Amino acid sequence: DNPPILQDTPYPRERAYPSPVHSTAHMEPLPYTRARRAYSSLQRERLKADCSAYLPDVLRGAPRVVKSPAPFSQDDAAIRELFPLTYGMPAVEFEQPVSNSESVPSRRQVRLGVVLSGGQAPGGHNVIAGVFDRIKQWHADSTLVGFLDGPRGIYRGDFVELSKDIVDGFRNTGGFDMLGSGRHKIETPEQFANAMAVCKGIHLHGLVVVGGDDSNTNAALLAEYFEANECQTKIVGVPKTIDGDLKCPPHIPVSFGFDTACKTYATLVGNVAVDALSAQKYYHWVRVMGRSASNIALETALLTRPNACLIGEEVARDGVTLRALTVDLADMVAERSRAGKDYGIILVPEGLIEFIPEISELIAEINDVLAHTSSEPTEASILRSLSAVTADCFRYLPRFIRTQLLYDRDPHGNVQVGKIETEKLLVATVSLELEQRRIAGLYAGTFKFQLHAYGYEGRAGLPTRFDSAYCYALGCTSAALVLSGCTGLLASVRNLLAPTEQWRCGGVPIASLCIMQLRKGSDKPVIKKALVELDGPMSQPFAAWCEMRGALRLHDAYVVPGPTQFDMSGCPAASEVPLMLQLELGVTPLQLGELREAKRMGDFLYCPQPSASRSPLQRWRASRHHRVPDSIREMRLVAVRACRGRLTRHPEQDLKYLRKFFSEPDAPMYEIEPVEGREPFTQEQQRIGVVFCGRQAPGCHDLLCGMVDMLRPDANSKVFGFVGGTKGLFGWQAVELTPELCGPYAGTGGLELLGRTVDRIKSEGEIEQALTACKEYGLTGLVLVGGARTHTDAAYVAEHFRRKGARTAVVGIPCGIEGNMVNEFVESSIGFDSAAKAMAQLVGSTAIDGSSARKYYYFLRIMDGAMVGGKISSSHLALEVALETKPNMLLLTEEVDERRLSLRELVREVADVVAQRSADGKNFGTILVAEGLLSAIPEFRTLIMELNAMPMPSPISEVLPQLTQWSRALFETLPDFIQDELLLERQSNAAVQLAQLETERLLAYLVGEELRSRKQQGTFRGSFSPVCQFLGYQIRCSVPSDFDSDYAYTLGATSVVLAAAGLSGYMAVAADLSRPASQWRVAGVPFTAMMNVPVRTLSSTSQPLPAIFPRRVDLAGEAFRTWCEEREVCAEEECYENPGPIQLSGPSAGRVCTTIMTRFSYLHALETLHRNLEDVAEQSRPGCNPRAVRIATQTLENLTKILREFTGPGDPCQHPGLSWWGA
């Protein structure tokens, strides 16, 4: 029985192991240098959240300690021998005193230490906050020290003293960057002795080890060692791992971080599911973390309901071979194809490969071989050491998998399963199986796929409210255990379905959770991993999945959980606890409900979903009332009018050329204004069609709601949605959109309801097909939704309709996450704000993960604007994400183009930053890479243009002879993976698919080569471990932000007003977006006012057609200037911010991204200008002061001359495209 810590006691002499003669450990605290430099608005909100609300009642005051028998290890004898002093100790539970009159012993100040060990998990900072608050509540002069960068900080004596200011700067935030983490273990006798010497030297009464199964096993060994040497420092563990494999019901119901990570991954999987439904052409294979257990995959599957989720434990139990797994997946793909579904969602746990029998045996043998060899392994050397069966398996695997099996090992010397791209292995084998069936006439579908790996972005995000409370309670509990004199225990918090104040707290002996396992060639004690339970008392989650998975193979019942919310008063979904935990504790699982059969409409499947099929967040979100400009607030056609404004302007030479194609190239603008009275806006019945032409973006369903609501009062008017995008338009495939149909889709992402196919209405035949469809449905208006390409086509469609005498008005709505459908009139495109925020969350979490582990460089490629006609793409999204997250570098397409950097120069600049940071002891960082970066590099741009002229896909042998000498030389120097990706099938505009080029991987590879060269020259002494990821598909169908929801709704309503007014060839726009929605100004701008006439180049044989071109980042604009002011500091320091998930209620919900807030309001400036001119005219009326006339005349004459000079031929301000399209 250990007494509570009431006073300092002298350290008794050691008994077990001698200390080393010379200890290198420090005994003085280091200065603290890791305070956060900046916070996002949501981080600041979470910092202010009162952690005392997370404290269970049992820990308020001085709880009593109640002991009970602890569980026994299945390897009882072996564990008892290894832990003679700490094995067999009782479990502990705290209870409130029977009465306040119970005596409370006098308290003295204590010193505790805390260390973060292993991989990051959201909530770790709240554990530290809980420890800190508890010991300060015990005695105000108590001290908490934090060991830096994991367990090695203990035996090195690298520690800091944590003050209130330090701790308060990290409350309720993600990551382990307060102290840093590490995977080092205390293993050697010298390390154990040094660790004890440090704890003695700084007079620690207790040490809290925050870690997973390995880390807490190490804590048990340390506790045993300290007890054997009668060291007063008590060791208590805290269960941490996002994998969910550290639990021991009822004592440890769940590890912290699991809830946040799973909700993060489920949000992304839900977004990808909507993406799959929107385009209906890809199988999305998603690999999620879970090295040795499939808990994350199962929780994510229960939250999102994919078509398949592979459970590693089931594969192992049933002895499923790789071949059998492949055949089963191919069967599902073929079955879905026969139903018209060549798309789907498949979840794969990262550790699946270990559960496949022949491969798990192979990995075990490789681990054993690696444990007994000091030389670098090769395929030949490994094959010589493998058994015949596993050698055959090794040869069967694709080469890239064989390489990954040997690529790297973890600190235990084992294969790093997390780096094995299991999803690529399965895609390769399934593709081969389907091709064999196609040859045999058994399969006629298409199998296109996208691969995703979700991991690092889930480890350091803002902890959910559950994890925030759970971690704080665990921290307080661990401190209470130390204060009660307990050691070798793992903190336990239970009764988690009850309100926080009713949670039960205590501890369970760590040694009792251990078993013996083979590690590095010998048996070692380890905490038994909690795998997915297939049978038994905790198998409810797996049973729930088994109950539904048969139906999900064919039917699409995807659930979109949406982004994590923190405003409990505003959003009920903010209080949700892990679904697996709910099921394990007896909550009845939700049923699938009605599975609707899809209706084939042309090439697309139409299957509208009712509100009951939506997630709780989506149902809550759908009830929100949109905010709209005051000019249309009544949402009735009879209450608004389109007021004709001034004629738009083009330079004279452009105007002449535009007149060859358009009958009214200087058409006027129209502003939408409210009218007095209720005179009818129009007597004509309205029948308006809408087509999703451009790519997926958040907010498009709100657009439909805006259209429907604007026409709702008129029972005779209708809105028709064309199913399947432009192909649905050509094929007359439309449905009537009603409030009942659109209501469940309000506030949802993607284009799920109507879908899309190809962004093209270009040829005369296609335009005629569109006209025929409009006549068939009797449309008075046709609304086309998309980006620059969509609206260029729309301009020519409108002109064709006009010349044919069609009564259908063609109206456009700017949409696209790329944000490049902007110009003087269009301040933002629908979806940009949401996509930027959703992507910034992932980047911010990943960057903080990097500053926590302090050993990786993250190269993150950002999906952005595509190339058009071989021209440079845009990178608005990358810039906005950089402004929100503050990475160490941003490689911006426009800047690289402006500076004309070669690939070698770019690589050297990145290497310079890496080298400088390394010189400061920082071998980690985050680098953002714009998707179109390669197109801005002169030699690469030439190569891409040459490849665009060739039919693809083509073999290298046919491509090389057609390249020029310089392009061929460049191509041959590129890594194999980039060569292969350049020769893939083209996108719909026949250009290279920049999204398929792993630019981030190429840069990481080349930077690595440059640094290796510098290391050989002695100019670089650091380490460089890159991790590459592409961010795009997982965010473009995100739940829309409040801004995008209101913006899309407003533009949808405005498009109806324009169409009803017969204004064909106009785009619906809203101006003054930096102001509240009620103050936005809505208008119609002619497409021709946004068109540019490209300069004819020397090599062109004809004058290019006028077009609306994507706008690139303005390097003189406010957004880029802001980044330039910050980037030097960002390169040197860690200024990372994590904006967190999109908030739909609370203070952060109204935040609008920087790019939009700082954009110049062209229409507002025009209005101010004309108002000033009218004021001049008013003050210059007959009878005014002659001097005033002279001043006004001279000033205006000078201004006129300046404007004529400034807006002459080729002026980049009047026609921004000319400054770069003619280059």
* Catalytic annotation, residues: 243
Backbone angles phi, psi at 1095, to 5 degrees: -70, 135
Cβ atoms of residues 685 and 716 within 8 Å: yes
| d(C-alpha 394, C-alpha 584), whole Å | 39
| Residues ≥6 apart with Cβ < 8 Å to 198 | 25, 26, 27, 154, 155, 156, 157, 159
> What is the dihedral sign for C-alpha 326, 331, 332, 336?
positive
> What is the dihedral sign for C-alpha 565, 571, 577, 580?
negative
DSSP string, 910-921: HHHHHHHHHHTT
| d(C-alpha 1075, C-alpha 1077), whole Å | 6
| d(C-alpha 1127, C-alpha 1129), whole Å | 5
| d(C-alpha 1189, C-alpha 1185), whole Å | 7
> What is the dihedral sign for C-alpha 387, 393, 396, 399?
negative
| d(C-alpha 577, C-alpha 260), whole Å | 10
| d(C-alpha 927, C-alpha 92), whole Å | 47
Backbone angles phi, psi at 182, to 5 degrees: -165, 155
Cβ atoms of residues 694 and 756 within 8 Å: yes
What angle is formed at CA 1203 by the lines to CA 1201 and CA 1206, rounded to 5 degrees? 110
Cβ atoms of residues 45 and 1148 within 8 Å: yes
> In this structure, are strands 234-239 and 206-211 parallel, antiparallel, or unpaired?
parallel
What stretch of H or E contains 850?
helix 832-853
Helix (H) and strand (E) counts in the chain: 43, 30
- The maximal CA–CA distance of the chain, rounded, in angstroms, is 111
**Residue 411 one-letter amino acid:** P
> In this structure, are strands 344-349 and 308-309 parallel, antiparallel, or unpaired?
parallel
The interaxial angle of helices 1118-1132 and 876-885, nearest 10 deg, is: 50
b (16+ CB within 10 A) / e for 133-168: bbbbbbeeebbbbbbbbbbbbbbbbbbbbbeeebbe
> In this structure, are strands 604-606 and 1066-1071 parallel, antiparallel, or unpaired?
unpaired
| d(C-alpha 544, C-alpha 843), whole Å | 34
Where are any strands of DSSP class E within 996-1133? 1026-1031, 1066-1071, 1081-1086
Q: Residue 829 is encoded by which pair of tokens?
A: 């495109």
What stretch of H or E contains 601?
strand 599-601
Q: Which residue has the tokens 């068939």?
A: 776
**Residue 607 one-letter amino acid:** C
| Residues ≥6 apart with Cβ < 8 Å to 1123 | 879, 882, 883, 890
**Residue 29 one-letter amino acid:** P
CB atoms within 10 A of CB 1096: 12
Tell me how long the chain is. 1223
List beta partners, residue 688: 719, 781
